[in-house]
Amino acid sequence: MAWDFSTEPEFQAQLDWMREFVREEIWPMETLDLDLEQIERAMAPLQARVKERGLWAAHLDPELGGQGYGQVKLGLMHEILGTSPYAPLAFGNQAPDSGNSEILALAGTPEQKDRWLHPLLAGDLKSAFSMTEPETAGSDPTLLQTRAVRDGDEWVINGHKWFSSNASIADFLIVMVVTDPEARPYQRASMIIVPVDTPGVDIVRDVPTMEHPTEQFGRYGGHAEIYYRDVRVPAENLLGAPGAGFLIAQQRLGPGRIHHCMRWLGVSKRAFDMLCERSLYREAHGSVLAKKETVQNWIADSAAEMQAARLMTLHAAWKMDTEGASAARQDISLIKFYGANVLCNVIDRALQAHGSLGYSTDLPLEAMYRFARAARFYDGPDEVHRASVARQILRGYEPPADGVASEHVPTRRAAAQEKFADLLELVTQND
């Protein structure tokens, strides 16, 4: 019987190395206010060490310079990298470049791979994914309005996007556009590669957010607002077949959600460690916080929620590795909303236990808290994933034919009396 929670020793050694490396070399960088150039300079020697260790761009297949790790291994790795916003950069799997490299690997022609994918992997280019529009609901992408119209050998793009992460520092954008408005809803959109210096691409700002309220244009991790006005790109910039945009996005999103959930667990664990530490030294009303039942409940509930989220996520990853993306769909929706809520809960409790210190920028908790809030709606809001889970579960059920609940006790009692009539009669006679 195969039922195993162990990690093979060689990979465990890699995980141990990563944990130490991230904590010792990357966490300290968080305390400095670095601009893009400084980040890149600081990252270069760390990236070299990661490459030496054979851990660079692990999400990609070996022929593209990656490790070809399955989702379980990648998940365990992301749990460590998630502890710091800089760590994925050192390992060549930072969003959105990692997802975009997967799209290019999946749907790119050999020419597109040569021109965009290989330089992206080498770190010579940066990319962004441009889909969400201010005027339409991102949670219902069938409403997308940005249009690409074929004109001879070119696509002409017009539209308005925002929250295109890293677009203000990117060299090219993968833009989701409607190419066939008459097609069935999920076959209307396509992905097109647009170099940022194409005339008509107007990146107007990095939108200030809860995570970065004082946004500076061109900062790593910014979320850009972009107008596309009569942007002309060659027809060969289309990724995959016309109308394949959602199909490609779907293939990319499953693994992406597993990585998100594991990264959130890395953040949660860091907040949890702070919660536990605080409870041992903060004294109030005659004892340390650790002696208060409420704080004990926070610790126990957080541990239970993180363990549940971790097992659910690794199980979804295992299912994806063994049975494929569509078999894992329901599991991925489950972890997406469950994991996002665990993240928010654990950080909230850790912050509460630290009082003013937690609220201040003297600890990373307030930044974690602001970062975490978005997890409940990007990559599909909680409500949409819950609805999808419920729909899939309900497919396995039917209403009772006679309209009476199948567990209705009086009905079952009558049936049982009939079924066991002989026995009951005997018992009565013996009484």
Ligand X SMILES: Cc1cc2nc3c(=O)[nH]c(=O)nc-3n(C[C@H](O)[C@H](O)[C@H](O)COP(=O)(O)OP(=O)(O)OC[C@H]3O[C@@H](n4cnc5c(N)ncnc54)[C@H](O)[C@@H]3O)c2cc1C
**Residue 258 amino acid letter:** I
Taking the CA atoms of residue 419, residue 422, residue 425 and residue 427 in that order, the dihedral angle to the nearest 10 degrees is -90
Least Cβ distance, residue 164 to ligand X (angstroms) = 5
The string of DSSP letters for 68-106 reads ---HHHHHHHHHHHTTSTTHHHHTT--TTHHHHHHHHHH
- Token pair in block for residue 295: 């704080």
Rounded Cα–Cα distance for residues 79 and 77 (Å) = 5
CB of 94 to ligand X, least distance (A): 12
CB nearer ligand X, residue 50 or residue 231: 231
Structure tokens at 289: 């916080």
Nearer to ligand X, 129 or 298 (CB): 129
Instruction: Between 224 and 335, name the residue whose CB sits nearer to ligand X.
Output: 224
For residue 260, the minimal CB distance to ligand X (Å) is 11
Task: Output 132 or 237, the one with its CB closest to ligand X.
Answer: 132
Round to the nearest angstrom and report the end-to-end CA distance of the chain.
50
Q: Is the dihedral of CA 287, 289, 290, 292 positive or negative?
A: positive
- How near is the Cβ of 263 to ligand X at its closest, in Å? 13
> Minimum distance between the CB of residue 200 and ligand X, rounded to whole angstroms?
19
Nearer to ligand X, 67 or 93 (CB): 93
Instruction: Read off the DSSP letter of residue 431.
Output: -
Residues 6+ apart with CB under 8 A from 335: 257, 258, 261, 309, 312, 313, 316
Q: Which residue is nearest to ligand X (CB)?
A: 138
Question: Minimal distance in Å, beta carbon 373 to ligand X?
Answer: 9
Asked if residue 188 lies in contact with residue 256, where contact means CB atoms within 8 angstroms, the answer is: no
Sign, CA torsion 94/316/367/30: negative
Q: What is the nearest approach in angstroms of ligand X to the Cβ of residue 209?
A: 7
> Which amino acid does the sequence have at 359?
Y
Nearer to ligand X among residue 68 and residue 208 (C-beta): 208
CA dist., res. 118 & res. 114, Å (int): 6
For residues 17 and 227, which CB has a smaller minimum distance to ligand X in the complex? 227
Nearer to ligand X by Cβ, of 75 and 138: the residue is 138
Q: 259 and 266 in contact (C-beta within 8 Å)?
A: no
Binding residues for ligand X, rule: CB under 6 A, are 96, 129-132, 137-139, 163-165, 223, 374, 377-378, 381, 383-384, 387
